[in-house]
Amino acid sequence: MNLNHTHELSRRSWLASANEVGTDFPLQNLPLSVFRRRNSAEPWRGGVAIGDQIVDLAALAQTNCSRGEAAKAIEAAAAPKLNGLLDLGPNAWRALRHSLFALLEVGCTDEATVRATLVAQGEAEYTVPLNIGDYTDFYTSLDHALNCSRPLGTTVGANFDWLPIAYHGRVSSIDVSGQQVYRPMGQYVSNGASVPVFGACQRLDYELEIGAIIGTGNSRGTPIPLAEAQEHIFGLCLLNDWSARDVQAWEMQPLGPFLSKNFATTVSPWIVTTEALLPYREAWSRVAARPQPLAYLCSPFNRAWGAFDINLEVSILGAQQLAKGLQPRSLTRTSFRHQYWTLGQMIAHHTIGGCNLQSGDLIGSGTISGPSEGEAGALIELTEGGAKPVDIGHGETRRFLEDGDTVIFRGWCEREGYARIGFGTNYGTVLPSPVCD
């Protein structure tokens, strides 16, 4: 994919809110979700964000505004899940984006018809936009790994330099932004103890991640080459991989996380397409002092365009703060460009043994942390393992998450000469465990 007219900064929409400074959803973005009007019995259907509105794709499909491949793509995207659109392939995704761009741009002769399909975002509720077949979560930030190892007095594993580490997550507990996260139960070992206890997690944490939606998969036994891996991504969203740190520390060896990770994963409702993100790709590199990837994880394309410069922010809003209508304090600001392994390398490694990815599969990037102070993507890093409470604002501190806390992620891209585009928000609220100790 190459830059084209849909990325031009000078283009404007006839919808005024799409042209406002700081909007997440200008004409150059056009992310997709599945929505309906809040508290209604309406069917779920696909929608596209523009300014403070949503283009109802089911309503648009009933018009004659698009023809050919674009019309077919709009009809597929109007369904209760977006898998049918993904199955149509990259040409259809591009036709959908370009058709919507034309319909929403100043001067469109169908403005009145398209305007009649709009639904205010403030009136909408969302659901997970896809039937997710499989979910793989990675561990690919060197800064995160170093930050977590220091308070434990351990070192980063030797394999971290050589492969993108991952585990397979639980699809059934994935939900959309607004998810209620019940504090999980499990076994953990208290400081100084030699045997575990069973109870509610005491060290509940979030993990700031990017979720990648697989658009087209591969046949079993046919790996996806690194140079082609980005072409298999339909789009990106914000992802919170909630983690029970005390349970995780006890159960990790030798097979990895289980109860510490399977209780909740939250995704943002909007999927920003790979085409919309083209202006924000960056070169990927690794310092010469560290081992360089093996041949199947190295390509000229990945070196030139493998990273994405996505700005990310985390905040926590306590229950009392929320009740008082207070604004949260920013705890972390970082960028996805710092990741030690790229999404392309994750996909190439995932499939190199013959594994077949499928459209609608979800890839978690792993916690995203940067090299500087204030760029840590999890509380375990910010608090140095819970030793140093972090200020969440308005006189409150946290070592780990408390019941009633709402964790908020935001993401956006900015680059001179291009429009700012955003991902909206991803938030979830911690509830007490429903299980008795």
Look at strands 118-120 and 53-56 and give their pairing.
antiparallel
At a CB cut-off of 8 Å and minimum separation 6, what does 196 contact? 187, 188, 189, 250
pLDDT for 86-121, tens place per residue?
999 999 999 999 999 999 999 999 999 999 999 999
Count CB neighbours of 354 within 10 A.
11
Look at strands 272-273 and 185-188 and give their pairing.
unpaired
Going by pLDDT thresholds of 50, 70 and 90, the confidence category of residue 419 is: very high
**Rg, the chain, Cα only:** 22
Query: Structure tokens of 224?
Result: 């996806």
pLDDT at 55: 98
H helices of 15-89, where?
A: 57-61, 68-77, 83-88
pLDDT at 192: 82
Query: Structure tokens of 415?
Result: 């680059």
pLDDT at 435: 80
pLDDT more than 70, % of the chain? 99
pLDDT at 317: 98
Report the SS3 class of residue 246: helix
Residue 124, H or E segment: strand 124-127
pLDDT at 191: 84
Domains of the chain and CATH, by start: 5-127 (2.30.30.230), 135-431 (3.90.850.10)
Phi-psi region of 366 (alpha: psi -120 to 50; beta: other; left: phi over 0): left
Count CB neighbours of 69 within 10 A.
16
Count CB neighbours of 220 within 10 A.
10
How high does pLDDT run on average in the chain? 96
At a CB cut-off of 8 Å and minimum separation 6, what does 121 contact? 49, 52, 53, 54
CB-count burial class (<10 Å; 0-12, 13-18, 19+) for 301: middle
Say how far apart CA 393 and CA 316 lie, in whole Å.
9
pLDDT for 159-186, tens place per residue?
999 999 999 999 999 999 999 999 999 9
DSSP state of 94: H
Mean local confidence (pLDDT), 124-145: 97
Nearest to 235 by CA among 270, 269, 273, 268: 273
pLDDT at 437 over 90: no
* Residues marked as catalytic: 144
pLDDT at 160: 96
CB-count burial class (<10 Å; 0-12, 13-18, 19+) for 306: buried
Write the DSSP string, 384-433: TTTTS-EEEETTEEESS--TT-EEEEEEEE--TTS--EEEEEEEEEEE--
Report the SS3 class of residue 200: strand
Count CB neighbours of 134 within 10 A.
17
Count CB neighbours of 12 within 10 A.
16
Say how far apart CA 230 and CA 107 lie, in whole Å.
34
Lowest mean pLDDT among 82-96, 183-197, 266-280, 301-315: 183-197
Mean local confidence (pLDDT), 241-253: 94
pLDDT more than 90, % of the chain? 95
pLDDT at 1 over 90: no
H helices of 214-331, where?
A: 245-251, 300-305, 319-323
Nearest to 121 by CA among 58, 53, 38, 30: 53
Does the CA dihedral 26-30-34-40 come out positive or negative?
Answer: positive
H helices of 252-375, where?
A: 300-305, 319-323, 343-351
pLDDT at 436: 61
Report the largest interatomic distance among the alpha carbons of the chain, rounded to a whole angstrom.
73
CB-count burial class (<10 Å; 0-12, 13-18, 19+) for 111: middle
pLDDT for 47-94, tens place per residue?
999 999 999 999 999 999 999 999 999 999 999 999 999 999 999 999
Look at strands 174-176 and 265-267 and give their pairing.
parallel
Q: Strand pairing partners for 409? A: 314, 426
**Given the structure tokens 């980063």, which residue do they identify?**
156
pLDDT at 152: 67
Look at strands 362-364 and 135-139 and give their pairing.
parallel
Nearest to 163 by CA among 147, 143, 139, 137: 139
Look at strands 32-37 and 45-50 and give their pairing.
antiparallel
